[in-house]
Amino acid sequence: MPVTLILTAIVLLFAAVAAMSLRNLVHCALMLAISFSGIAAIYLQLNAEFVGFTEILVYVGAVAILIVMAILLTRSGEAPDKSVLTSGWAAGVAVTAMVFVILGWAILNSTGLPSTVTSAPSATVKNIGDVLMTTYVLPLEIIALMLTAAMIGAVIIAFREEEPKTKMEDGRWKMEQPSTPSTPSMPSSILHPPSSTGGQP
């Protein structure tokens, strides 16, 4: 098992690094889907089949598609000309290196980790359903309520507020009606009254 586990982990990590470092955001989303698939493969190798298939359904099927939709809705599908890094990226890289060194040191030097590999546990769908409907029924209901609230909230946040305004030809919203429209045939005069009309009171 460790050889396939290591190979899957290498593919997963390469995809994750590509998802974080490519310039084109659509390519980033594609690499993100590949790394989610790698995580699902690791779950399958760890005898967590239900979680593996849920990972594919939820992340590859829903979250990656949602991210692609957001990328296309914000018109950021093509690579920018400027730098893609923030102004303080060097400090971020330093903090990341520190975090990884501390985590890796703790993993490699910990004495409390169980070293013997036990036999594969049985996580059948029947067992999971039993546990979800008895021990964890209250968290399940709370999660259902929270998911409903989050979905309604997401729709409300992303909803375009339709106010009784008139839309002009160039796609912008006219904020108020001018009192004396001097040149009604030109809509740009409403936006720039001093330059186009000159004699605005």
Q: Using CB under 8 A, which residues numbered 62 to 91 contact another protein?
A: 62-63, 66-67, 69-71, 73-74, 76, 83-87, 89
Candidate list 81, 112, 121, 195; residue touching another protein; CB under 8 A: 121
Cα-Cα-Cα-Cα torsion 36, 42, 44, 48, nearest 10 degrees, comes to -100
Compute the distance between CA of residue 180 and CA of residue 153 in angstroms, rounded to an integer: 42
Is residue 111 within the footprint of another protein (CB under 8 A)? no
Candidate list 126, 160, 162, 177; residue touching another protein; CB under 8 A: 160
Q: Single out the segment in contact with another protein by CB under 8 A; choices: 57-65, 164-172, 177-185, 186-194.
A: 57-65
Is residue 158 within the footprint of another protein (CB under 8 A)? yes
CB nearer to another protein: pick between 114 and 194 = 114
Concatenated DSSP letters of 51-72: HHHHHIIIIIIIIHHHHHHHHH
Compute the distance between CA of residue 108 and CA of residue 178 in angstroms, rounded to an integer: 72
Is residue 39 within the footprint of another protein (CB under 8 A)? yes
Cα 19 to Cα 5, 87, 160, 162, 179, distances in angstroms: 21, 20, 30, 36, 53
Is residue 26 within the footprint of another protein (CB under 8 A)? no
Q: How many residues bind another protein (CB under 8 A)?
A: 82
Candidate list 25, 41, 60, 190; residue touching another protein; CB under 8 A: 25
Q: Vertex 117, ends 116 and 121: CA angle to 5°?
A: 135
Compute the distance between CA of residue 198 and CA of residue 24 in angstroms, rounded to an integer: 46
Compute the distance between CA of residue 62 and CA of residue 68 in angstroms, rounded to an integer: 10
Is residue 55 within the footprint of another protein (CB under 8 A)? yes
Candidate list 133, 147, 168, 186; residue touching another protein; CB under 8 A: 147
Cβ neighbours for 41, distance < 8 A, ≥ 6 positions apart:
8, 12, 52
Is residue 54 within the footprint of another protein (CB under 8 A)? yes
Is residue 58 within the footprint of another protein (CB under 8 A)? yes
Is residue 42 within the footprint of another protein (CB under 8 A)? yes
